[in-house]
Amino acid sequence: MNGISWTLLILATMIGGFLFAMIGVVLLALLLGDVSNRLSSNDETRRDS
C-alpha cells in the first residue's frame, strides 16, 4: 500500500504541475495577444492622424 500511495502522490504532483504550466502558458498567450492587439491599434490610430 505504501508503494501505491507514493506512486499516486508522484502522479498527482506531475499532473498538478502540468496543469499549472498549461494555465500559465494560456494566460501568457492571452496577455501577449492583448498587448499585440493594443500595439497594432495604436499604430492604426497614428496612421490616421
Dump pLDDT digits (tens) for 17-41: 999 999 999 999 999 999 888 888 7
pLDDT band of residue 44 (cuts 50, 70, 90) is low
Q: How many CB atoms lie within 10 A of CB 39?
A: 9
Spatial distance between the Cα atoms of 2 and 11, rounded to a whole number of angstroms: 14
pLDDT at 42: 74
Higher-pLDDT residue of 44, 34: 34
DSSP 16-34: HHHHHHHHHHHHHHHHHHH
Instruction: Give the CA distances from residue 22 to residues 11, 25, 31, 45, 48, in Å, rounded to whole numbers and listed in that order.
Output: 16, 5, 14, 35, 39
pLDDT band of residue 47 (cuts 50, 70, 90) is low
